[in-house]
Amino acid sequence: MNNKTKARLIYGGCALLLLITEVLIALFIHDDWIRPYGGDLLVTVLLCCLVRVVLPNKPKLLPLYVLGFALLVELIQLVDPVALLGLNHITPLRILVGNTFSVADVICYAFGCLLFWGFERLAYRKK
């Protein structure tokens, strides 16, 4: 098995675990800490892992790109696009896109990207 395939499998496995964790948080945790902040932190780590499955050649600035994407989505929430399109009745879409801008979300996204960067840095340093 070559290094790219091995990396894809590792990142894919991590992405799957993170996705399952995100779903479990959404379905079963209704607190004031893990659901609002933990889920937002993990979503950027999940996105980084998914990009690595497709592009295993380690784009050096991947966490910054993912953070930029997350910030864009958060800014779009200022105008509540789901409501503008009249799609409020589609609950999964509402949950996925969100409908309120939050500085706390932005901070969680940044910490998630920093966490991914740190783990990757440690993993590549050991090689």
- 43-84: pLDDT as tens digits: 999 999 999 999 987 788 999 999 999 999 999 888 888 888
Q: DSSP code of 32?
A: S
Mean pLDDT of 36-42: 93
Percent of the chain with pLDDT over 70: 98
Angle (CA) 101-105-106 rounded to 5° is: 90
**What is the phi/psi pair of residue 103, to 5°?**
-65, -35
Please tell me the predicted confidence (pLDDT) of residue 127: 59
Residues 6+ apart with CB under 8 A from 86: none
Query: Distance of alpha carbon 71 from its chain centroid, rounded?
Result: 11
Exposure on the CB side of residue 121, measured as CA atoms within 13 A: 10
Provide the domain limits for residue 101: 3-126
Other CB atoms within a 10 A radius of the CB of residue 82 amount to 20
Question: What's the longest Cα–Cα distance across the chain?
Answer: 51
Specify the number of domains making up the chain.
1
Q: In this structure, what are the phi and psi dihedrals at residue 98, rounded to the nearest 5 degrees?
A: 80, 170
The pTM (predicted TM-score) of the whole model is 0.88
